Structure 1
Amino acid sequence: MTTPTNPIRMTDTGTAEAASGLNLLLCWLSPAFPVGAYAYSHGLEWAVEAGDVRDEASLEDWLACLLAEGIGRSDAILLAACHRAAAAGVEDAFAAANDLALALAPSAELRLETAQQGRSFLDAVLASWPAPRLDALAGRIGEVAYPAALGLAAACHGVAIRAAVEGYLTARAGNLVSAAIRLAPIGQTAGQRVLARLSARIGLLAELVLACDLGDVGGATFRADLGSLRHETQYTRLFRS
């Protein structure tokens, strides 16, 4: 067997010394990463029961609205703010952005969704991809929103802010498409068509939010927000939100 002439050197923890930003994002935002994303639908379960999402076209409309006018845009701005604060070492700015991310959750279920995934994400990164600055900052963080946790980890590992934002939005859209497939209004191929058509929107949104700050955070997805409240008492439920 031929020995590679330039093998990747590994650290004592088994991780590549020079893992690229893309490599990290693919791992962190993979369905295999233990954040429990599969357990949440962000109110989509109620939208399916109410008939708002019933086929491929209505799912695409619902997700496009969430991305442009709801969780997508707001979370992307918050992630970017947390990334900048962590990269600059300004803990107060990071804490303010994280507190805002938690406070903006419109229902108890959606607060659980972002806080549980945020904590699970941060714990998994600390255990698998330790970094001195991340370890030091994480030790002073209590409850953490999911986009804040990703922004922090990405900054401490040198992942570019644009890549982190676009990766996060793509992963969120993919998780909701997966939820829709399990709820049965669409099949797997239709789900991939929805994601393909949303990809251009996601790229544009990632570019636009880089020029935003916390004063630009806001949303107008009122029916989705009300749906998350109604999901709390929905008779049959597969998901936690």
Structure 2
Amino acid sequence: MQARQVQIMTEGDHACSPRSLLRLQSWLSPAFPNGAYSYSHGLEWAADTGHVVDRNSLVDWLEADLRYGSGRNEAIFFSEAYRCAVEEDLTGLAQVAELAAAFRATSEFALEASQQAAASLGMLRQVWPDPILDVLSETEVPPVLAVVLGARSARERSPLRLALPAFLLAYVANLVTAGVRLIPLGQTDGQFAIAELEQAVLSACAQDERATLDDLGSAGLMVEFASIAHETQYTRLFRS
């Protein structure tokens, strides 16, 4: 394990090229057509029932998810997929993809993960093709977005110390955008919320970029309960 960590640090500690940075920004942009804007990750139910009512409660909800819930697990899957791609461990990558797909606590989360990943995988294969994407497209179960972007970022030689926080910030920024519509909040409060979540993103990255599959787990049960309840919510703007 120590030798593996040294290898990853060596591979990922180079300077990020301008082209790699541009591509990472493209893949994490709201303009990238993976349908992320249509999912609230259970936040719609939390807003509807009064658990999230303002900027402070929105930040608390998302910070808990990042530190203790599904956001933390997504960071681990991203890092593991990145490592497998760097090491050209295709068997390991397929195993990570299978575990990540199975690691969905609710049917809503499974839909959210698989549809975004399928859209991203298809677009990446057309516009930014790479053999690692062919491997992921042939796995027995559909991969999730964290695995697709983690592996592709590694092939682009984007350092993990930059790619992982960018991925997590895009994850929470998409949910802040949902919160702006649901609570509702103004655009300025939305940007304040993203700024307030920066430290949570960096803290999660510092912990999870060194984590392994043995560290997977969640104490963010309220997010999962919200997803379950959202499935039968009477009126919905979002798909999850």
Q: Give TM-score, length-normalised by structure 2.
A: 0.89
The residue aligned with 1:8 is none
Shift of 1:58: 0.5
Q: Residue type matched to 1:29 in 2? A: L
Larger mean Cα displacement after TM superposition, 115-124 or 38-47: 115-124
The residue aligned with 2:132 is 134
Partner Cα separation in structure 2 for residue 208 and residue 224 of structure 1: 21
Shift of 1:137: 2.1
Unmatched runs of 5 consecutive residues or more in structure 1 = 1-17
1:177-201 Cα deviation digits (max 9, x unpaired):
0001111332111111011011122
The residue aligned with 2:213 is 214
Partner Cα separation in structure 1 for residue 228 and residue 170 of structure 2: 24
Given the superposition, is the C-alpha separation of residues 221 and 135 from structure 1 closer, same or farther in structure 2, using an over 3 Å criterion?
closer
The residue aligned with 2:30 is 31
Greater gyration radius: 1
Partner Cα separation in structure 1 for residue 170 and residue 36 of structure 2: 10
1:44-99 Cα deviation digits (max 9, x unpaired):
00000110000111101001101101122110011100111122111121111111
Partner Cα separation in structure 2 for residue 69 and residue 135 of structure 1: 30
Shift of 1:34: 0.6
Contact kept, 8 Å, 2:113 with 2:144, in 1: the verdict is yes
Shift of 1:136: 4.1
1:205-225 Cα deviation digits (max 9, x unpaired):
112212210000111111110
The residue aligned with 2:55 is 56
Structural mapping, 1:160-175, within 5 Å: 160-175=159-174
The residue aligned with 1:78 is 77
Q: Residue type matched to 1:168 in 2? A: F
1:113-132 Cα deviation digits (max 9, x unpaired):
0111111111111111123x
Shift of 1:164: 1.7
Q: Give TM-score, length-normalised by structure 1.
A: 0.88
The residue aligned with 2:103 is 104
Contact kept, 8 Å, 2:38 with 2:238, in 1: the verdict is yes
The residue aligned with 2:203 is 204
Partner Cα separation in structure 1 for residue 162 and residue 116 of structure 2: 20
The residue aligned with 1:41 is 40
The residue aligned with 1:6 is none
Partner Cα separation in structure 2 for residue 213 and residue 197 of structure 1: 27
Q: Residue type matched to 1:219 in 2? A: S
